[in-house]
Amino acid sequence: MTNTNIQNTISKVHANISSLFSKEDVIKLLTDLDTEIRNENPKGQIDKDDLLTTFRQMLSEKEWDGVVDKDDVDFSIGYDNKIEVDRIAIDEDFLISEVVDALESLWDALEEQED
């Protein structure tokens, strides 16, 4: 798209009868070109609620079985002979890795939308 704007500006210069351009003419031409390019490709606004909803959805689709180390759990027998979990190990590195992967996927998806 930007290339089209530049070609149109070059055509405007060629179409001009005068072969001499004042400094003001060049400044106006470049300013107009800059305005056209900015209006053509406005920066996208990211809606925070949409972003958070998409991120939550990406996280909900992850497999979280690896977060808990099922081999490292401490149990006890509580009141009424109920089995209680006293301690359970959580793999924080796995958790952080999965969240960062989801965030990176979301970022990539947003970049694709801008293109």
73-88 pLDDT, tens digit per residue, is: 899 998 899 999 899 8
Do 103 and 61 share a structural domain?
yes
Q: What is the pLDDT of residue 77?
A: 94
Residues 55 and 35 in one domain: no
Domain identity same for 91 and 52: yes
Do 67 and 96 form a contact (C-beta atoms < 8 A)?
no
Residue 65 sits in the same domain as residue 27: no
Domain coverage including residue 16 = 2-40
Please indicate whether residue 45 or residue 58 has the higher confidence score (pLDDT). Answer: 58
This prediction's pTM: 0.47
Question: Are residues 56 and 109 located together in one domain of the fold?
Answer: yes
Closest to 108 in 3D by CA, of 57, 55, 64, 62? 55
Q: What is the CA radius of gyration of the chain?
A: 29
55 with 107, same domain: the answer is yes
